Amino acid sequence: MGRSQSDPPKSNDQTAISSKRKREDEAHRRDLDSKRKKLLVTRRQLPIWTHQKAIRAAVRDHDVLVLSGETGSGKSTQVPQFLLDMFRSSKIAVTQPRRVAAISLARRVADEVGTPCGSSSPASTVGYSVRFDQSTSPSTRIKFLTEGMLLQEMLRDPKMSQYNCIIVDEVHERSINVDLLLGFLKQLLAERRRGRNPLKVVVMSATADVETISNFFSKSAPQTNGHSTPVPGTDTEDNTAEASSAASWQGIADDEAGAPNDEVNASNDTKSSVNICHVEGRQHPVKTTYLPQPTEDVIDTALQRIFKIHCGEPMPGDVLVFMTGQETIQNLQKLLEELAENLTRDFPKLLVLPLFAALSQTAQQRIFEPAPPNTRKVILSTNIAETSVTVPGVRYVVDTGKAKIKKFRNQIGLDSLLVKPISQSSADQRKGRAGRESAGQCYRLYTEEGFMSFDRDNTPEILRCDLSEALLKMKARGVDDVLNFPFLTPPPREALEKALMQLLQLGALNEDGKISKIGLPVARLPLTPSLGRVIVEAATLDCLLEVIDIVACLSVENIFLNVDTEDARGKAQEARQQLFRRQGDHLTLLAAVQAYASETSDRRRWCDDHLISHRAMKGAMDVRKQLRAQCKQAKLLPEKAEVETENGPPYEAVSDNILKAFVRGFMNNIARLCPDGSYKTFIGNQTVAIHPSSVLFGRKVEAIMYNEFVYTSKAYARGVSAVQLRWLEEVIG
């Protein structure tokens, strides 16, 4: 359209700017298109590619498709694209157990589709949503999101009406959220089938245990209360006939599949029709080497192995090392970097990259970038890289055989993190990472007998974790009878009862078991019920901004860098100690955030001067921004609460209130000082020591409150503050 008479004439500058922008847009489009074409060649070689039509037919003709296939066969990246034009007017959701996978998949699929990713352009059709980071546009059609985020969306929109297809990926990980999601989806399928907007569900797994999932969906959904409408006349008998007669993978010939359309079929039956498919993998041979004897010092053995690979193996290729957690990873990283400095020029350089859940997104995404010339990447990862993410270029895997596993300890009524041997299936997944692109090598830092003693499979999280978060989500979705919820694996009744008790104690449920006025905002915050309760309490105690700052720090990696006492740089150590607060870690974190936020000149330098991780601090600032927005949305914080806490009244005035808010959410994590100088928990009377990383380490106070219970060489409390016993009564009211 031409310019109207009333438009002001454009200046030469404006014209130049607008034609420059046009040229840039055009160049960007060409760039995206050439990337798309290049990737199409790779996509066509994926094992899943030849099954495209059959997958579409299976989804068109059934409510649920259960698709199994080796990691790397192309499930996560291709299936959403295969299905996209079957659902012309709505979105496809693809869930992932982990943030890093959701983001990297969104970026990869955006490149393959030839569209900008996320919120970078209003025309972008592929986006993602993870805790504290939403990156979608009005045009988003494929949305990768963590299971937790989809559950959050379900609370806001119980019918999930914006989606016609929900793909639940990586089900073999059996996270508690995925189990919950499958239960909700089973109920939703029955509801949506009766409406005009049927839902299709694709469940994808790297292992072949598809029968359980298929049987689960082909049984009738039980009656539900609340948002989920009861299904009249349903029974609970196993619909084996339907499950077994469901078209098998080979049963659908490509030419039977028909042309793509948005008229997907939906049956009127109250039971879901399920189709099972399997895609073969593409795995190169991987040679496995065990240790002849068990090792006493796994870090040292890993260090030696990595250097043997680097200096001794002729094949190029990156190294992926599986470790237990942030601390061991950072220790090994430091040692590797020190030793790598002494490498002679005859060897390539080493680039060491950590990968663990609490790491910032930017740092996590670095593992996907190709190493610079003449450099070998060594990725030190927790079990995140086991199945969720594909790191290109890996040819060597070093497996310590251990992982940090969350376990609910009935005795103390808390989740604790324990370092445990992995399962045989995890070990095999880890090994498989070496054979993605070519033949590889896997070094197991344990003996073959050790491997034989591992459990065959992982125990689903729902059988070993605190269920309070899951239960609160169920209650918020109107599932009042949690004992009859369709769980893929029903958790023990005792664990459900414990979780109900905890929610009652938090005040998140009323006496009648229904969600309370306090419980609703707690369920909607992307935090554990305990932390959510702290936030709600802080709103009433007038210290919400401060508490958000602390919660933001607790949600990211440790902000204080590990320092060896010998090499601690005197002045920096002194500067850091000025941030330490005698009341403990919570107020220390607050002091650090506030000092960082008020630093306007050079924040990176400030971090160096205080031995604080700049990366962690930037992450905490992001989380703080998001939490503030969410608290405003939940009306816990007034719209105009943008005043920086550092400009507000000094927090000393509210420091007791801050700690009281934490006591309200963490009443089960309180231990009192005993005459023998030890701390014993109120619940379970268990001895717990203050972790050496705490500013309260070595101090004796009346009682302590802590956020985390870790069991390494002994039982440790982490994230600890001194509290007064009389606060307990005051807080309970």
Q: Is 392 one of the binding residues for ligand CDP (CB under 6 A)?
A: yes
Interacting residues of 152 by C-beta distance below 8 A, sequence separation 6+: 524, 526
Q: Is 228 one of the binding residues for ligand CDP (CB under 6 A)?
A: no
Q: Which stretch binds ligand CDP (CB under 6 A): 68-76, 567-575, 594-602, 664-672?
A: 68-76
Min. distance of Cβ 276 from ligand CDP in angstroms? 16
d(CA 720, CA 673): 14
d(CA 445, CA 301): 7
Q: Is 364 one of the binding residues for ligand CDP (CB under 6 A)?
A: no
458 vs 530, beta carbon nearer ligand CDP? 458
Q: Provide the 10 A C-beta neighbour count for residue 339.
A: 14
Q: How many chain residues bind ligand CDP (CB under 6 A)?
A: 16
Q: Is 104 one of the binding residues for ligand CDP (CB under 6 A)?
A: yes
Q: Is 105 one of the binding residues for ligand CDP (CB under 6 A)?
A: yes
Is 586 within 8 Å of 555 (Cβ atoms)? no
Q: What letter does residue 543 receive in the DSSP assignment? A: -
Taking alpha carbons only, the member of 470, 491, 482, 536 closest to residue 513 is 482
Min. distance of Cβ 108 from ligand CDP in angstroms? 4
Interacting residues of 459 by C-beta distance below 8 A, sequence separation 6+: none
Q: Which stretch binds ligand CDP (CB under 6 A): 76-84, 193-201, 255-263, 698-706?
A: 76-84
Is 262 within 8 Å of 88 (Cβ atoms)? yes
Candidates 68, 76, 214, 382; binder of ligand CDP (CB under 6 A) is 76
d(CA 314, CA 317): 10
Min. distance of Cβ 146 from ligand CDP in angstroms? 15
Phi and psi at residue 670, to the nearest 5°: -125, 135
Q: Is 377 one of the binding residues for ligand CDP (CB under 6 A)?
A: no
Q: Which stretch binds ligand CDP (CB under 6 A): 72-80, 154-162, 370-378, 496-504?
A: 72-80
Min. distance of Cβ 39 from ligand CDP in angstroms? 9
Q: In Å, how far are 10, 541, 636, 721 from 649, measured between CA atoms?
A: 50, 14, 19, 22
Candidates 51, 53, 60, 75; binder of ligand CDP (CB under 6 A) is 75
Task: Report helix, strand or coil for 88.
Answer: coil
Candidates 53, 58, 66, 72; binder of ligand CDP (CB under 6 A) is 72
Candidates 187, 390, 426, 583; binder of ligand CDP (CB under 6 A) is 390
Q: Is 205 one of the binding residues for ligand CDP (CB under 6 A)?
A: no
387 vs 502, beta carbon nearer ligand CDP? 387
Query: Could you tell me how many residues make up the chain?
Result: 733
318 vs 549, beta carbon nearer ligand CDP? 318
Min. distance of Cβ 277 from ligand CDP in angstroms? 13
Candidates 60, 108, 444, 576; binder of ligand CDP (CB under 6 A) is 108
Q: 37-56: which residues touch ligand CDP (CB under 6 A)?
A: 46
Min. distance of Cβ 43 from ligand CDP in angstroms? 8
75 vs 143, beta carbon nearer ligand CDP? 75
Left, alpha or beta for 674 (phi > 0: left; psi -120 to 50: alpha)?
A: beta
Q: Is 320 one of the binding residues for ligand CDP (CB under 6 A)?
A: no
Reading the block at residue 651, the tokens are: 């927090």
Is 589 within 8 Å of 553 (Cβ atoms)? yes
Min. distance of Cβ 217 from ligand CDP in angstroms? 20
Q: Is 73 one of the binding residues for ligand CDP (CB under 6 A)?
A: yes
d(CA 639, CA 379): 43
Reading the block at residue 362, the tokens are: 């930017």
Strands 318-322 and 394-399: parallel
Q: What's 666-725 look like in SS3?
A: CCCCEEEECCCCCEEECCCCCEEEECCCCCCCCCCCCEEEEEEEEECCCEEEEEEEEECH
Taking alpha carbons only, the member of 723, 667, 726, 660 closest to residue 690 is 723
Q: Which stretch binds ligand CDP (CB under 6 A): 89-97, 104-112, 122-130, 411-419?
A: 104-112
Q: Is 99 one of the binding residues for ligand CDP (CB under 6 A)?
A: no
Task: Report helix, strand or coil for 425.
Answer: helix
Q: Which stretch binds ligand CDP (CB under 6 A): 25-33, 102-110, 115-123, 475-483?
A: 102-110
DSSP H helices in 567-693 = 570-577, 585-598, 603-609, 614-633, 655-665
Q: What letter does residue 246 receive in the DSSP assignment? A: S
79 vs 160, beta carbon nearer ligand CDP? 79
Q: 421-460: which residues touch ligand CDP (CB under 6 A)?
A: 436
183 vs 393, beta carbon nearer ligand CDP? 393
Q: Which residues bind ligand CDP (CB under 6 A)?
A: 46, 69, 71-78, 104-105, 108, 390, 392, 436
